[in-house]
Structures are given as structure tokens and as C-alpha cells.
Amino acid sequence: MVIPSFIIPSELQLSKAVLVNQDPSLLIAAVSVQKRSACPCCGKQSKSVHGFYDRSLADLPVSGRETKVILRVRKFFCKNRKCSRKVFTERFVDQIKPYKRCFSRSADLVRSVGTELGGNKGAALCKVIGYPVSSSTVLRTLKGIGVTARALTSGTIGVDDWAYKKGRNYGTIIVDLINKEVIDLLPDREADTLADWLKGHPEVHTVSRDRASAYALGIRKGAPDAI
């Protein structure tokens, strides 16, 4: 049975696919038919099967219906005698990552929603569109985004505080106002912390800041010539 790519990623090699209507959700059962898989430790390809097991994976909703995929996958023997791993679970190229309980494209959806709406509202929207997750899952997905720190800024920044926990713990957020992106988060809102950061970024010439006296002092100490 051929399943459209909007239901199952087309790059996966699957067979014996069955769609089961479990109103209001949809269940898909399939079997992986990759001929071989690479050992995660040594990279050697193996086609010697040790056994089988089932993985339950959440996928994108179909017509607003929650979709689950039960995938029969394999364990392989590693034939490299020098490798410390003797048995390993089947690996996939793209859409299915080790230890994950959803397809990569599903995580991309949650990441996009969370970036726009945050934890609580992001989780609420995901539930409406048929991919129910908790606010903690949304935040955990956001924390997994790889961020590369910029060595240089545009020179025009904004400085304000933000809450680790409202009313208790606060840090400092620094935003590049030209590129319109967050460039750093400082662990507190002390003058010396901000001053040290500014000394490491001599290209800063303009600062829009919170009115807190600590920030005013930090800017005077770290970037005395900034506007």
C-alpha cells in the first residue's frame, strides 16, 4: 500500500502500511524495510538482524485528526569486532531521530508555534490543530534550538530585564535592534554584568535601555561613549 507523503514522509522505506480509523484519531501501522543500518558508534553498515520492536511516533495531524504511527523496526548486530557496541537499534537518515517519540517534521511544527506564541498559548494552538502537547513540551523543544552567538552586533542594541520566574529571579536580555533578534541573555541585571558584556562588544554605539539605574551605570562603565 502506498501512503501519500503528506501522511508518511516519502523518504522512509516502509511496507505493510495499514491505516486504522480510531475516531477521533488516526493510527498507522507500518514496517521498516531498510536493507541495512549504520552502527552509531563505528559507522559500519550492518544487515544482520538481531530482533524486532515497535516504536510509537507522533506525526502531523491529518485533516485536524491526531495521528500516531506504530513502526516495526529492527535491532542489528554490529559486525565490527573492534566496536564496543554489539547490538544497536535501526537508524534512519532524517525524519526519525534516536530516542525521539515523534517525527522531525512534527517537532518542527511545535518549534515554529512555540517561537511565535510561547509555551501556554503554543500548546493551546497545537491542541486545536490536532497535535496535543503540553506547554512543557513546547518549551523543551524551543530549548533544543541551536543558537550560534554573534561575535559582532549591528552596534545598536536594546537592554531590558526578563524573568526566569516572575517576582523572584531576573536576568538581562540584549536585542540587536537593527537585525531584530535576541543576541544574548545575561544571568542577572547587575551593572557589572552588563558592563563586562559591553566591554566585549566595543562596536556598540547606541543603546536603548530600561530605566533601571543599574543599567545606566553598566552602560556608563562598559560603553561610556555610546548614545
Residue 8 lies in a domain: no
Q: If 0-12 CB within 10 Å is exposed, 13-18 middle and 19+ buried, where does residue 205 land? A: middle
pTM > 0.85: no
Residue 2 lies in a domain: no
Sign of CA dihedral 9, 11, 12, 18: positive
Residues 45 and 90 in one domain: yes
Q: What percent of the chain has pLDDT over 70?
A: 96
pLDDT average, residue stretch 91-107? 91
Residue 132 lies in a domain: yes
From residue 41, give the alpha-carbon distance in Å to each of 34, 51, 72, 81, 159.
Answer: 19, 19, 23, 12, 45
Domain boundary among 52, 76, 94: 94
The maximal CA–CA distance of the chain, rounded, in angstroms, is 69
Residues 173 and 125 in one domain: no
Cis status of the peptide bond prior to 24, with omega within 30 of 0: yes
Residues 87 and 120 in one domain: no
The shares of helix, strand and coil residues in the chain, as percent rounded to the nearest 5, are 25, 35, 40
Q: Give the model's confidence band at 18: pLDDT under 50 very low, under 70 low, under 90 confident, else very high.
A: confident
What cell does 72 get?
516495526
Residue range 129-173, pLDDT digits in tens: 999 999 999 999 988 887 666 678 899 999 999 888 888 899 999
What pLDDT was estimated at residue 20?
86
What pLDDT was estimated at residue 167?
84
Mean pLDDT of the residues in the chain: 90
Query: Residue 122 pLDDT more than 80?
Result: yes
What pLDDT was estimated at residue 79?
92
Query: Residue 2 pLDDT more than 60?
Result: no
What pLDDT was estimated at residue 5?
60
Query: Residue 84 pLDDT more than 70?
Result: yes
Residue 151 lies in a domain: no
Residues 211 and 140 in one domain: no
What SS3 class is residue 109?
helix
Residues 107 and 79 in one domain: no
Residues 111 and 87 in one domain: no
Residue 138 lies in a domain: yes
Which of 77-81, 142-146, 175-179 shows the lowest per-residue confidence on average (mean pLDDT)?
A: 142-146
Residue 5 lies in a domain: no
Residue 227 lies in a domain: no
Domain total of the chain: 3
Residue range 212-224, pLDDT digits in tens: 999 999 999 999 9
Domain ranges, residue 176: 156-222
Residue range 44-64, pLDDT digits in tens: 999 999 999 999 999 999 888
Nearest CA to 54 out of 29, 24, 33, 34 is that of 29
The total number of residues shown for the chain amounts to 227
Residue 214 lies in a domain: yes
- Angle, CA 159 vertex, CA 158 and CA 162 arms, to 5°: 125
